[in-house]
Chain A
Amino acid sequence: MIMQELITIENLSFSYPDGQKALTDVSLGIYKGESVAIVGPNGAGKSTLVLHFNGILRSNGHVKLLGKPVDDNNLRWVRSRVGLVFQNPDDQLFSPTVFDDVAFGPMNMGYSKAEVEQAVKMALGLVGMPGFEKRSPHHLSVGEKKRIAMATVLSMSPEVLVIDEPTSNLDPRGKWDIIEVLKGLSVTRVIVSHDLEMVRELCPRMVIIDRGRVAADGNTADILADKKLLAAHGLAACSL
C-alpha cells in the first residue's frame, strides 16, 4: 500500500531577515498515519522548519500540503489541517478560560455554537482533561497547560499534529503523562524534541536536523543504535 503524502517539502532554504541562514536545501515527506520525530541540537533549525508546516513562515512552492502548495490564498485551510503546538504553553494559551482557548480555533473556522461545544469536549477528552473548561490557564500546572495546549489544536480535528518540545520543563511523571496522551492519539504526529527517550517510545521514524540540513532520516532504532552519528550531531552522551 502506498501511503498518502501529507506534507511535502522540497529543497526548502530559509534565511531570517538579518541574513542568518536557518535552513538549507531541506527535503522531507510526512505520510498519513505516521509518527515522526524531528531531532537536533539547539539552534539546528527544527522550530524554523516546523513554522513552515502551517505557513507561519513561507517560501512559496517549496512546501506542499496534500499536493497543494502552501500560499497566501489557502492559509486558512492549511492552518485548519496542520495543528501546530508551540513549545511554551503560556504562549499558546492566551484566553481567560480553558474553554475560550480550546474553542478559539474552531470558532475561527466558523463552526456553529453546538459544533464548537462538541469540539471542545472532544479535544479535552482526548488529552484526558474533561471538565477543565472553566479553569483559567494561570491556575494550571505546567503539565496541565501542555495538555490543554494540545487540546487547543486537536479541537480543529487537524490532519497532522505538530508539537514543539512536548516534554520540555516537565518532571518525569508529567513527561510520561504526555507520552501516554500522545500514544492514545490516532492522528499523524510530528514531534520536535531532543528527548530521545520519548522519541524511542513514540516515533518509529526519526529525522535529524543539524545546521539547517537533514543529517539523517530513517528508522528510529537504527539511528539510535548509531552512536557515532548521534555524537556527530550533539545528541549522544545520553544513557540510552
Chain B
Amino acid sequence: MKHSFIDQYSNRDSLIHRLDPRSKLVATLAFIAAVALTPSAGWLVYCLYFIIIAALILLSRVPLLYISRRSLVIIPFVLLVAIFIPFFKEGEVAFGFNIWAWHLSLTHNGLQLLWSILAKSWLSILSLILLTSTTGFASLLKGLEQLRMPRVMVMLLSFMYRYIFLLTDEVMRMKQARDSRNFGGKRLRQMSIVGNMIGTLFIRSYERGERVYAAMVSRGFDGHSRTLDRLHFSRLDTCFITAIILVLVCINLFNLYY
C-alpha cells in the first residue's frame, strides 16, 4: 500500500538538499533554540525569523502548499496545551464573562503569551518540516549518529521508520478483514473486538521482533551497531552554519539593544 512518507521531497536537488545532514540538524536546533529563547511578544523579531525560514524554504524548492499544509497540523496540539493560559495569567483584564457562578476573565498579557506561543511553535515546526523534507530519513539518522546521539536511540528511530508502514498495512488488512465480515453489533462488542485487534497486533509485532533479531544475529550481530561514515562535510556546510548562527546572533543583539 502507498503511504505519504515524511521525507517524500528529500530526493530533489537544491542548495539545501546538498547540505550535510549534520549541518542542517545543528542549524535547525540553533534556530529552534533562538526562537524559544526570544521573549514573548517580540513581533518584529518573529518576523525576522520568518523571513529567514521563508528564504530557506524558497531555496529548497519544496512545494509551499505542502509545507504550509503540514505545518498547520501541529496547531491544534499547541492550542490544546496553551488555550488556558489567557485565563490564568495575571494582568489587565481584556474581557470577562460569567458561566453560572464562575466569573472567567481573559487578560491582555495572557492573550499576548498565547499568540507568542502559537507563533513560536509555528516557526519551529516550519524549520523541522524543512529539515525532514530536504533530508532523507537514512541520512538524518546518520547525521544524528555522527552528532553523538546514543546508538540505541538511533537504532530505535531506524526500526520505527522501517516498520511503521508495515504495521499500518497490517492494521488496514485487519480492518478490511473485519469489515468484510460485517462488523457491527453493540458498542461494547465492537470495543472488545478492537481490543482483540490491538492485542493481535502487539503479538504479531513481538513475533516479528524475534524474527528480525534472528536475522540480525544470523549476520553476526553482537549487540554493537556498526556503521560506515559516508557523510561529507563540505565548504558549503561551513558557510551555511556560520551564516545561520551569525544571523541568529545579530537578530538577538538587535533585540536586546533596540
List residues of chain A with CB under 8 Å of any chain B CB: 51, 54, 56, 76, 79-80, 83-84, 86, 88, 90-97, 100, 103-105, 107-109, 113, 116-117, 136-138, 152-153, 156
Interface residues of B in 163-183 (CB under 8 A from A): 163, 165-166
Dominant secondary structure at the B interface? helix
- B215–A76 touching, CB < 8 Å: no
Not counting A76-B222, A79-B218, A94-B158, a sample of 13 additional A-B residue pairs whose C-beta atoms are within 8 angstroms of each other reads A54-B218, A79-B217, A80-B220, A84-B218, A90-B166, A91-B211, A91-B212, A94-B162, A95-B158, A95-B162, A96-B137, A108-B219, A138-B162
- The distance from the CB of B227 to the nearest CB of chain A, in whole angstroms, is 7
- B227–A100 touching, CB < 8 Å: yes
Which residues does chain A contribute within 8 Å of B163, judged by CB atoms?
A: 94
Which residues does chain A contribute within 8 Å of B215, judged by CB atoms?
A: 84, 86, 91-92, 94
Indicate which residue in A56, A92, A97 contacts B217 across the interface (CB closer than 8 Å): A56
Asked if B214 is at the interface (CB within 8 A of a chain A CB), the reply is yes
Q: In whole angstroms, how far apart are the Cα atoms of A161 and B166 in the complex? A: 27
Indicate which residue in B137, B212, B220, B229 contacts A76 across the interface (CB closer than 8 Å): B220
Q: In whole angstroms, how far apart are the Cα atoms of A153 and B217 in the complex? A: 12
- The distance from the CB of A65 to the nearest CB of chain B, in whole angstroms, is 14
Contact A51-B166, Cβ < 8 Å, known A79-B219, A108-B220, A156-B219: no
Which residues does chain B contribute within 8 Å of A84, judged by CB atoms?
A: 215, 218
- A91–B208 touching, CB < 8 Å: yes
Indicate which residue in B161, B166, B221, B229 contacts A108 across the interface (CB closer than 8 Å): B221
The count of chain B contact residues (Cβ–Cβ below 8 Å) is 26
Which residues does chain A contribute within 8 Å of B211, judged by CB atoms?
A: 86, 88, 91
Which residues does chain B contribute within 8 Å of A92, judged by CB atoms?
A: 215
Which residues does chain B contribute within 8 Å of A76, judged by CB atoms?
A: 220, 222
- The distance from the CB of A218 to the nearest CB of chain B, in whole angstroms, is 29
11 sampled A-B residue pairs with Cβ under 8 A: A91-B208, A91-B214, A91-B215, A92-B215, A94-B158, A94-B215, A95-B138, A96-B138, A97-B138, A108-B226, A136-B162
Asked if B250 is at the interface (CB within 8 A of a chain A CB), the reply is no
Interface residues of B in 182-232 (CB under 8 A from A): 208, 211-212, 214-222, 226-229
- B162–A96 touching, CB < 8 Å: yes
Contact A96-B141, Cβ < 8 Å, known A103-B228, A107-B226: yes
- A96–B161 touching, CB < 8 Å: yes
Asked if B84 is at the interface (CB within 8 A of a chain A CB), the reply is no
- The distance from the CB of B230 to the nearest CB of chain A, in whole angstroms, is 8
- B218–A138 touching, CB < 8 Å: no
Indicate which residue in A51, A93, A156 contacts B214 across the interface (CB closer than 8 Å): A51
- A136–B138 touching, CB < 8 Å: yes
